[in-house]
Amino acid sequence: MPCVLHTIDASSSLRAIERRIHEAEDGTFFELVSLAAATVGGRDVNVIAFRPRPAGGRLLLVEIDGGETLTRQELDVCARRERGGRTLVSYGAVWIAGRLANVAAYRG
């Protein structure tokens, strides 16, 4: 199977989303490719896309302040990756507890 899609409710917390991803990855040989706000069946949800996983570490989700400039967000996203030795997997808008938030996903 080339990919798998999951949804999680728009009212979920960041930790609940992270747990859902860990559960899906731990129980399969798939890894996160994308995490994004979407509409499915007329409902606001988050769609989580997975692909077959060759190898990798645990996933970490980090909320990035959307009130900051793009330059500041770029520094925050890239600095976190460099400091922690993690690789950026995805960055975009995600529903967290019923509000849209910028979220970076890192692996490693």
How far apart CA 34 and CA 51 sit, in angstroms, is 9
- Sheet with 59-64, side-by-side order of all strands: 59-64, 99-107, 87-96
- Burial of 41 by CB count in 10 Å (0-12 exposed, 13-18 middle, 19+ buried)? exposed
pLDDT tens over the chain, length 108 residues: 588 899 999 999 999 999 999 998 887 888 899 999 999 999 999 999 998 876 667 888 999 999 998 888 888 888 766 667 788 888 999 999 999 999 998 887
Q: 55: which 2 tokens?
A: 């190898």
- Give which of 94, 100, 103 is closest to 62, Cα–Cα: 103
pTM: 0.73
Q: 106: which 2 tokens?
A: 């890192």
Q: Which domain holds residue 15?
A: 4-107
Domain count, the chain: 1
